[in-house]
Amino acid sequence: MKRLLWLGPLLLLAGCAEPASEPAKAASIDTAKVAADIRATDDAWKAAAKAKDAAKTATFWADDATIVMSNMPVVSGKANIQKFVEDSFKDKNFSIDWTADKIEVAASGDLAYETATETVTFSQRKKVGTVKAFGTVVWKKQADGGWKAVVDQSTDLPPAAPAKK
């Protein structure tokens, strides 16, 4: 019994000790605000493309971005993307428009993806062609807090079925 007498004060001290602090929780990310920021960036990107401002348009891709489009070689890296944009804008018939259908933001707040429907018009063997496509852009938050596309993928959609008579 004498051996157990030291247990009482020990239990009393243990009961008075402060509980271990919980690990700090990561700040909650307002994904709706992040999605709105990306949508605003996407709108500025579209405005630059519609104005055929190659220098401005190319800035929306990260320096190490990759563009993948149907029936075209993959375009990677800042210099190649700049040339791709400049060459596209040299076409007097070139135009592009898209509508973002969905923007999903990762819980971490540093990555997001966007899906969009796209329409691209361009010269094609002395004719003007128009392609409808489905696009996916992976966005990555940059050190300055802005957003840039790191992967831009576009897949041509099949032509619409002719209307039945």
Instruction: Give pLDDT < 50 ranges for the chain.
Output: 1-16, 24
CA-CA distances (angstroms) from residue 114 to 13, 111, 164?
A: 56, 10, 34
The pLDDT score that the predictor gives to residue 28 is 87
- Whole-model pTM? 0.80
pLDDT at 97: 98
**56 with 81: CB under 8 angstroms?**
no
Residue 8 pLDDT: 46
Helical H runs in 20-116? 31-50, 54-58, 78-90
Non-local (6+) Cβ contacts of 50 within 8 A are: 95, 96, 97
Radius of gyration of the chain (CA): 27
If phi > 0 it is left, if psi is from -120 to 50 it is alpha, else beta; for residue 5 that is alpha
Pick among 3.40.50.10130, 3.30.70.260, 3.10.450.50, 3.30.1330.10: CATH of 30-156: 3.10.450.50
Domain positions in the chain = 30-156
Strand positions, DSSP E, the chain: 61-69, 75-76, 95-105, 111-124, 127-141, 147-156
